[in-house]
Structure 1
């Protein structure tokens, strides 16, 4: 399974805050996401794992819009 499925996948609830910060001229989070997501199968640092290899925060479960992610395939 680990060879077929990526450990890290881009979630909209990661992207929206990064885009909001970038719109204000702060690109650090966007660059961090890019770095992580260019190696989705790789084992990465514990900090990266704790930040990006997790379930959606519970406070976003009832929120519409950018907390929901759908696939039409």
Structure 2
């Protein structure tokens, strides 16, 4: 997976992204293959993400994924 990601061109996010790895707003780490390897291997911190979003004034949530 990491070898495949090494061939991907990453760009900085245009909108804030809350990381499921940290539960905080992510930055430049989103543009590294290592971040995405961790994303598939480590625990999802969903509750921390929701808490961060609520703290930033988010009132509506939309979960996207490959399946319902």
- Higher fraction of helix: 1
Q: Which has the higher contact order (CA 8 A, sep 6+)?
A: 1
